[in-house]
Structures are given as structure tokens and as C-alpha cells.
Chains A and B, each alone.
Chain A
Amino acid sequence: MIKSLEKLRLEALAELEQVSELKELESWRVRCTGKKSKLTQALRSLASLPLDERRKIGSLANEIKVDLELRMDEKKKFLEEEHMASFLKQEGLDITLPGKLMPTGRLHPVTQALDEICSIFTRMGFQIAEGPDVEWDYYNFEALNIPPEHPARDMFATFWVDSKETGESARLLRTHTSPMQIRIMEKEQPPIRVLVPGRTYRYEATDATHESMFYQVEGLAIDTNITMADLKGTLFEFCHCLFGEERKVRFRCDYFPFVEPGVEVAVECLNCHGKGCRLCGYSGWLEILGAGMVHPNVLKRVAIDPEKYTGFAFGMGVERIPMLCYGIDDIRLFYNNDIRFLKQF
């Protein structure tokens, strides 16, 4: 009896080995462990056996049944996985097909540059203010220490709304964001720390490096005890935030009528790292900012006492920054608005 049970086990396991589909597994189960299987029959016939034999054989038959069921579960799991794999093999996706793109728009590169510049200076406590594009001669020139026929007016080719002979009440398109220095100082008392982004205009024929319209960002800080060292620190920090900590920055003397002393800030050429190339005119430096200490005449004009207060102002062209960073060689691309250009940023 024991022998025949062991034989049943071996036969059943051999058959299980042959099973290759889930359907067959079910018929194997019916055949080998089902109600009508030899094993079940053997268990039923136990009653006719003597007690001690019954116990021995009974436990063996049970053990075989449990064993077979266990093996069947394993086989089932195996077959199911195999089945899934073969199903996926047939029904799976060509994952190299292109995905469905979510629509993507971009901010204009000038907006991106403005946002970056504004965010650096707002972290330093500068407040953002905006002013009119159409200005009075008074704010654009006169109050900034540039009276009529001053030679510095040559630096600012101007679009006039009224004839310039009208004097300080002539309207014009602001040639820089500096008029806001006056508008702010007229209204507010020191301490002042503002940043003015905006459009500016120059009466210039357009070419790859000149536009009649461009953006500037103006900065102004007025208080007691502000020095050029603070200006230097502020602008060096800005350049490092924008162009990287390692970038060399140069601070040199320059002239703007509304500041004294005047400063120009340049950074080490992004292209040649100071060795000299076409981009930097073989100087190794790229001019980024004009700046200086607010001229005492300008402070007097807005009734801020230059004996008590000092301050600095700076201004920078915005387009130049993405031009340098991305190697854009034609400023006109910004306002042609070709999306093949704009989508790149």
C-alpha cells in the first residue's frame, strides 16, 4: 500500500512536470488529487485497514496530498507568470513611439533675464518700481545733470515726441531708466533702495548690435554712509550671482553725467575667459554695467542734502545678458519674435 502511494506520488509529479498550460493544470488536479483520483480513493479505503496501519498510511496519504497541492500552486504561479510574459510580449507597446507632448510655452528670454536680475537684487533688499516710457526732457536729462546742449547728450540719441527746442517740457521716449531716480527721490526720503526695470529707446539705426528699443534695469541706493565700496560689493555680488562665483569682475573709471565718480563694470569674457576673442573685442572683458555715486547736483535737485546723504546708481542693458550667455549674435532676434528663436530658451 505504501509502495503504491509512493508510486502515485511519483507518477503525479512526473505528470505535473509535463503540464505546460493552466488548463492542463486543472485536469491534472482533478486526475491526481480530485475526488475521483487514486489518491482520494486510497484515503477512502483507509477505513477497511487496521488502526495502526490506517494511521501510518493515512498520514502518508495526507502528506502526499499536501505535497502535491503545494507543487501544484508553485506550478500554477510559474505558469501564470509565463502566461503574462508571453501575453505582454505580444500585446506590449512600442515604447519608442513618440509620447504625447504637453503644450509648452516659454517666457521671452528678456523676461527671463529681467526676472533673474530682479530676483538677485530683491534678495539684497531692493524694491521694484516702474516708470513711464514717455518722459519729460526734465526727468530724462535736465534733472540728471544733462542741461540742453550738454555734450553728454551725444550719448543719448533721442526719439522726441515734441520738438526738443521746447526745453525741459518736451516729451520724449526715455533713453534710459534713470529718470526714475528723480521720480523716486522726489517722492521718498532716504533710506532708498530701488530697482527699476523698463523699456528704453534710442534714435539709432538697427543692426546686429544696436536696437532702437531695449530693456534696462536701473538701481538706486541712498542713505548716510553709502560709499563706492558698497557699490563695488553690491555689483560684484550681482555679477557673481549671475555669472558664477569664479567669474572675474572689473571696476574701472567711466563717465556718466549723473554720477561722480563714475564706474563701468565688466566681467571676464564668457567665451574666452579673459584671453581675448572676437566677442570681447580682444580685451578679455565684457562691459555689463554703468554705475557711480549719485552726483551732488542730482541730489540737490530733489532736495536731498548731499552733505548728509550719499548714494549710488547703476544701470544695465538687459538683452546683452542673454546675448552673452547664449552666444546670440544679433540683438534684432529678440523683437522679431520668431518662435523658432524664442522656443530655445
Chain B
Amino acid sequence: MYASLKWLGDYVDIIPKHHELADKLTMAGMEVKAIQTIGSNWNDVVVGHVTAVTPHPNADKLHLVTVNLGSQQITVVCGAPNIRVGQKVPFAKTGAKLIDGHTGKIALLKPARIRGILSEGMVCSEKELGISENHDNILVLSSEAPIGMPLDDYMGDVIFDLDVTPNRPDCLSMIGIAREIAALTGKPLHLPQICYEEAEKAISQFISVDIIEPVLCPRYCASLITGVKVAPSPGWLQQYLRSYGMRPINNVVDISNYVMLEYGQPLHTFDYHKLNDKQIIIRRAKDGEIIVSLDEIKRTLTQNNLIIVDMKKPVAIAGLMGGFDTGVTSTTTAILVESANFNRGAIRRSAEQLNLQSEASIRFGKGLNPDLPPIALKRATQLLLQLTGGKAAEGIIDIYPGKTAPHAILLSSKEVKRLSGLKVNINEILRILNTLGFECQKTDSVPAGISVLAPYWRSDIKCAADLAEEVIRIIGYDKIPITRLSASLPPQKFTPQRSLKQKLRNTLIGWGFQEILTYSLTSLEKLQKLSSKSKLRIDPLQIANPMTKKQEYLRTTLRAGLLTAMANNQKHEETGIRLFEIGKIFLPQHSTAIRKNQNLETGEKELPQEKEMLCIAFGGSQGDLSWRDDRKSFDFFDAKGVVEGLLKQLGLVSVFEPCDDEGLLLGKSANVILDGDKAGVVGNLHPRVAQAFELSDTICLIEMDLDKLMSKTNMAKRYQPIPQFPSITRDIALVIDRQVAFQQVENIIQGFPLVKKATLFDVYTGKQIPEGKKSFAIRIIYQSAKRTLTEKQIDKIQQQMLNKLHRELGTTLRD
């Protein structure tokens, strides 16, 4: 909301220090986002009167313009097409600092010879004065502008750009803001005196009004003015509208806009003679009903639109915009002024459906008070009589089916203290609320309390907490004391999930993995790239109103985001990339559960299951380009090692089983099994998926279910004593069929007593090894917790072991 301090000055004395005023408003809840000063740099710019315009002798598009400045006459060259004799214009003398119309920079005005004619001074455009971007035309001032007056004195101003919160529609008006300023600065408020003469013929003889939808239209007021002469508005009115950023149109339209900005009540003016059968009805539109609105757009209406109709057709969309056919034109002589109250919800729905936001719909949509329409109506009528020369019919139409009784709120000094921590005397509370327009009465129903009635413009005030805020915001939030919470501390809880996540994150970054966070929303296209099948395994939850196709579905996997980030980074990284994300995936549930307090039938929608996952992707060379490193690429066993390392950190041991994950390469991927339960997968990304995401290199992928990790993590770790007795180490080299998995060998070895550890340190195929066979070199460490082992004992065990390996797996010792 733009507010001109000059305009506000009509209602309240404005303190001269604008920044102080802005601070007060900001602290009290109405933030001043920006302050614009108009005219502070207009030295040597004055009001001039154009007395002659003749063609430039040497240029078709230029004129020689003679301007009377009061004390002198000056002739200058001017190129503006809208210059006319008789206009009042802003005239800059040489030495003035103006904004250059072409470069936009501030430049000093110097005498200049333009096509052979000396020009000392300039008639200015709005852009040159820094008011707007308009540089095509010169700014034409009101005919009342005093010749020779410095322009700053005539139209200088300070404009506050205010952030009005949704609870304060009353402050979408000059008077609303002036009330705040009055309360904050202790200055008196001056409201316009409204009185005017009425003609004898009663308004009821001109028009009748019928509200069919009293819930949607709690009040409808109207006045009628005949003998109207439509003409341009006076300068002060034009200037006020401009200060808000509105273009002046004509006196009738300008007055309705002016009163809307002054009181916050939108008005509409009909050309009375264009209304059929002198009847106004407020009803819902029928589906398919059509109106051409003031902006000349044909709009098709539905039952969601509240409309104003005459006996034949819609004449306005209630609260949004009037109809084109019944609008005021230059030939209008009689007008019907509408000042009504509409239900905020109805107006919001209607505006949203028609995609028609206007100054009116913004105000109605925030909820206005039904006490306001007659006040604004009378103010508009008064101004219309003053400025259009018309006569008002006797009385106004005032249909008010939605009248409600005001309700009193009790407030005590104790309650203010209970909420704010600030001790405020009841008399001080009373004084503050009075300055804000509240009616207060001392009451016996609460100790040291008052009974408060909110003024009509404060529909937002409903309970004692609202009143407490009013009191302390006027005193100032900076007066609230600073204390530390003294309330009792609730019992602290066990949150292992958080520690688990922290442990995983810290381990991974220690290994050089970079954490990333990707969007929860993704596209169907991306999810499909992960799968070989045309149908997705899990149907993702769709957003009803996505912003873009790229973010239309809730992710059912972290893979898509991670692989996209991988591909983007591969474009500029020349070494290997290691990324991970810990985040939620969203799995739709079609549960039959019945929600608390709701009779949702079976099969009804449910919130999706939100499951926390860890996903890791890495690929490329292991080390950075360096004089020291060999630059081996990551492979499956690096990925498996990451899983094993993470699980070790958590005190877990897993089994790896072949998997058929459709995104991973068969034979180079595995399910991670914890206690017989699948907790994740690890493997090389399927080349088809890699290609779809435009990835190069072999990509290793790991996906783990955090809930599974959580449930398997053994919180009660037990200490193992450090071995007291020496160990004995034996290396063996086994030759074995290629199909035999190492796991089978390892299981047999580990099954023997005293085997502390078996480490595979070489896998070999090739020379010296028969076709179809491979060789495993394994170091076995034997140790007892009870005694020193003898070579003899170990020889015996190892022989049994070799026999068993031979018997069950067909192994032989390598020569």
C-alpha cells in the first residue's frame, strides 16, 4: 500500500522526521518497506504556463515553446507531441538536475543549441522528474497550478510503501493509516466533515434494490446523483491518485477511487440511464451467464460469481468489476453510486475463478465491515456534488440484512501481563485503546478489568489476546522485558534415529562423500528413466497444481535426484564424484485405516508413507589428479566396501545376495541382508539408466532403508576382551571351480574352532591354473582366548579344514 504523507496530512499532523515515523509504524506492525521522496532534487524546476507553440524552422518534429514563468518568459525547443498552448507544465531552468531521458542518469541541464536554435531550459517529462518511466510526453499539470511556483512546493511528496498484514484491511486506506499514526504519535485525528444538500425527490422513486443472497451480500447502499457533468478532476485529486500510482480518468471515476483509497471501501458508479427498469438485484450468476466487464473482456460466469443485475442482464461482478455497458462515460448525466459489503470468501472464490484481481477484490477479499458502506457512500456523494455539479436524490438506499450485534471483550491488566510479561496499569490500557477508537468501560466482572467494544473498522479484534497486542504494540515491543524460560523442563526423549543419521553423515563425509539435498518433487519422466518397464513399480503421488512438469510428482526414490546431480557435476568435474543424500521418499498408501474423528470409508485417501532413505552414488577415478595417485576407477567392490564400512560403524554385519534390481546391473549388484531382512541394495548402475541420465563412467549406487538399519542396530554393544595369547598365521592357496562363491569357502573356514579371522588377499585366474578354475589366497589367523596354541594343534585343524573344503567344494591346494 502506497501512502502519500501529503495526503495523510489531511487527517493527522505528520511529524517531520519521516524515518522516525516509518520506524514507529514498522515496530507497531505495519512495516514501511521503502520510502520514496518526490521532488527533493527539483531545484530550479517551476510551474510554467505555455503561451505559444510554433514549429521549429529546421525540424519537423520539434516545436518552439514559449513559457511564462511569472517573472519571465522563455522560449525553448521541445519535442513532446502533447505540448499545447494554455497548458501548465513543469519547467526546468538551466542549472536544474534532471534525469536524462535516455541514459537514466542524473545530469545538469545546460544551455544547448538544438538544430540551430538556442534553448535555455526544458519542459519536463515524468521520467526527467523521476516520477515514472514515461518519457514520450511532457507532464501536464492541473490548470490551477500557480505560475512560477517551485514544483517541489506544488507537488513534492514523500511516499511510504507499507506492508499491510492480512488482518488489517482497514489500513488499506489513508484514514486507516492516519488512525495508526495518530495513536502512535499522540496527535489528534481529523476526519472529513460529511454533509451535503439533497433534492426533494426520494431515491426510492429512482431505483429499488433486492438482495437475493443476504449471506454473500450483508449490506447494499446506493445514492443517486443527477445533472452530473463528466470532466477532468481538479489537480489535487489527480495528484493524490497519482501518488498511489493510479491514472486519473474523470471526476466521477476519480472520486470513486479516491474514496476507496480514503476509507478503504470500494465503490462502483453506474450510468443510471443505462440500467434497465430501475431495478438492482444481487444474486449468484447462472452457469454460462455472460458479462462484458469494464476492461472490455467478455467473461463467462458460474454460480460461484456473485453478480449485480438489472431487470435484463448482469451489470457488475460483485466486488470485482463493473460491466462495460453500464459504465460511466463522458456523456453520462446521472449516476448510481454503489457502496456495498460482500462476503470475503465469495469475493475470493469469484476473483480466483475469473482470475480478476482488482483494488476492489483485494479489499473485499480481506473482509470489510458492513458499517463502512454508508459512510463512504456519503463521502463520495458529497464530493460528486462538489465536483460534478450534480444534485443528490433525497436519502440513500440502505438494505442491511446481515446486521450483527457487537460483542464486548473483557480485558484486565492481569491478562496483559500474563501474555506479554509487561505490567500495564488499567488506566493506561484504557487510554491506549481509546486512542485506537475502542470503546471501553470499567467492569466489575473481572478484577481491575474493562469491557471493550471494538470500533467497526477493526473486524480483526475478537479476543483478549487481540486487545493485549493492541496495547503492547502501541507501548512498543521494545518495552517488553527479556526473561529466560523458567517453566519446568519436559522429560527428554531417546532419539536414536537422529544419532543414526548423524553417524552415517559424518562417516560418509569423512570418506570424501559430499552431502546433497535434492527436491522432493520430481517428474514422471525422470522416474521412468530409472526403470526398464513402462509401468512404474510404485505409482507416485501427483500434485494437483504443479508449478512445472519437472516437479509434478513426489519422489518414490532418491535415485533420480542423485543421478541428476551426478550428471550435472560430471559436466565440470574431472575427478571422481561421490555424492549422498539422506531424505524422505513418499510411498502412497491405500490403507483402510479410519482417521480419528472422521468417518472416512475404506479405500479413502491416506497420507503417503514417508520413509527415510540413504542413497549414495559415486563413480569415476578414486583419487584426484595428482603426482602421487594411481587413478583407478571405482568399481563394485568399492561400493560393497562402503556398505560394509557403514554397517561396521553401526555394529552390524550383513550378507550380500544377488539381486534383480531393475536399475542395477545383473551380476554386479547385491541385496544387503541384515538378519534375513533386505535393508538395501548395492551395485553398478545399469548402463541403460546411466545413458538415460547422460552419465559417463561406471556409477556405483547404494540405497539403504534407514528404518531397517535403525531396527537392526544393536544399541547394547558388549565389550570383547583383548586377546592375551599369541596368534598363529597360516596362508593357504586354494584352486576351485569358478562358479563357487567365496562366501561358501569362507563359511566353511569360519566354521572351524579357533579361526579368528580369514582374509582373502588374492584372486587369480590364468597361467598355472586349469581352465574353469580360479585360485583364492587366504590368510587364516588362529587364536585362543584361553591358551597359547601349538603348531601341532593348528596343523590338525587346518588339515580337517582342507579336507572339508575338498569334500564339499572340490578345492585342491595350489602347488
Interface residues of A, Cβ cutoff 8 Å to B: 97-98, 100-108, 110-111, 124-125, 127-128, 132-136, 148-149, 151-152, 154-155, 159-163, 169, 171, 173, 188, 191-193, 199, 201, 203-205, 212-213, 221, 223-230, 232-234, 236-237, 250-255, 257, 260-263, 281-283, 293, 295-297, 310, 334-340, 342-343
In the complex the two chains form, is A227's CB within 8 Å of B420's CB?
yes
Q: Give me 13 A-to-B residue pairs in the complex whose CB atoms sit less than 8 angstroms apart, sorted by A's number.
A: A105-B513, A155-B166, A159-B543, A173-B520, A193-B489, A203-B547, A233-B483, A250-B27, A253-B477, A260-B465, A261-B420, A296-B463, A339-B514
B711 interfacial contact with A, CB 8 Å: no
In the complex the two chains form, is B344's CB within 8 Å of A233's CB?
no
In the complex the two chains form, is A221's CB within 8 Å of B487's CB?
yes
In the complex the two chains form, is A227's CB within 8 Å of B465's CB?
no
What is the minimal beta-carbon distance from B628 to any residue of chain A, in angstroms?
A: 5
In the complex, what residues of B have CB within 8 A of residue A124's CB?
485
Given known pairs A134-B586, A227-B483, the reply for A255 and B29 (CB within 8 Å) is: yes
**Which listed residue, B463, B482, B568, B605, touches A229 by the CB 8 Å rule?**
B482
In the complex the two chains form, is B421's CB within 8 Å of A252's CB?
no
Supply 6 further A-B pairs (C-beta < 8 A) apart from A148-B345, A163-B544, A229-B482. A100-B628, A105-B508, A169-B600, A229-B481, A230-B484, A262-B29
Give Cα distance in the complex from A310 to B28, angstroms: 22
**Which listed residue, A133, A169, A188, A236, touches B584 by the CB 8 Å rule?**
A133
In the complex the two chains form, is A224's CB within 8 Å of B465's CB?
no
Most buried by B among A102, A105, A282: A105
Given known pairs A100-B629, A169-B600, A296-B463, the reply for A252 and B477 (CB within 8 Å) is: yes
Closest chain B residue, CB of each to CB of A160: B544
In the complex the two chains form, is B518's CB within 8 Å of A335's CB?
yes
B290 interfacial contact with A, CB 8 Å: no
**Which listed residue, A104, A255, A263, touches B512 by the CB 8 Å rule?**
A104
Closest chain A residue, CB of each to CB of B541: A161
What is the minimal beta-carbon distance from B18 to any residue of chain A, in angstroms?
A: 13
Given known pairs A212-B547, A342-B514, the reply for A229 and B480 (CB within 8 Å) is: yes
Given known pairs A107-B515, A127-B490, A337-B518, the reply for A133 and B586 (CB within 8 Å) is: yes
Closest chain A residue, CB of each to CB of B511: A103
In the complex, what residues of A have CB within 8 A of residue B481's CB?
229, 232
What is the minimal beta-carbon distance from A193 to any residue of chain B, in angstroms?
A: 5
What is the minimal beta-carbon distance from A274 to any residue of chain B, in angstroms?
A: 12
Which of B77-85, B104-112, B468-476, B645-653 lines the interface with chain A? B468-476
Which of B392-400, B571-579, B768-776 lines the interface with chain A? B571-579
Given known pairs A225-B486, A230-B421, A260-B466, the reply for A151 and B367 (CB within 8 Å) is: yes
Give Cα distance in the complex from A339 to B574, angstroms: 12
What is the minimal beta-carbon distance from B26 to any residue of chain A, in angstroms?
A: 6
In the complex the two chains form, is B598's CB within 8 Å of A169's CB?
yes
Given known pairs A103-B511, A337-B568, the reply for A134 and B610 (CB within 8 Å) is: yes
What is the minimal beta-carbon distance from B344 to any residue of chain A, in angstroms?
A: 7
Which of B314-322, B492-500, B692-700 lines the interface with chain A? B492-500
B418 interfacial contact with A, CB 8 Å: yes
B759 interfacial contact with A, CB 8 Å: no
In the complex the two chains form, is B517's CB within 8 Å of A343's CB?
no
In the complex, what residues of A have CB within 8 A of residue B595's CB?
169
Q: Mark B550-593, 1 if CB is under 8 A from A, else 0.
A: 01001000000000010011001100011100001010000000
In the complex, what residues of B have CB within 8 A of residue A205's CB?
547
Give Cα distance in the complex from A103 to B595, angstroms: 49
In the complex, what residues of B have CB within 8 A of residue A336's CB?
568
B545 interfacial contact with A, CB 8 Å: yes
Given known pairs A106-B509, A261-B473, the reply for A230 and B483 (CB within 8 Å) is: yes
In the complex the two chains form, is B568's CB within 8 Å of A212's CB?
no
Give Cα distance in the complex from A169 to B597, angstroms: 12
In the complex the two chains form, is B349's CB within 8 Å of A149's CB?
yes
In the complex the two chains form, is A151's CB within 8 Å of B344's CB?
yes
In the complex, what residues of A have CB within 8 A of residue B114's CB?
none
In the complex the two chains form, is B487's CB within 8 Å of A171's CB?
no
State which residues 392-427 of B face A: CB under 8 Å: 417-422
In the complex the two chains form, is B463's CB within 8 Å of A236's CB?
no
Give Cα distance in the complex from A113 to B466, angstroms: 34
What is the minimal beta-carbon distance from A160 to any residue of chain B, in angstroms?
A: 4
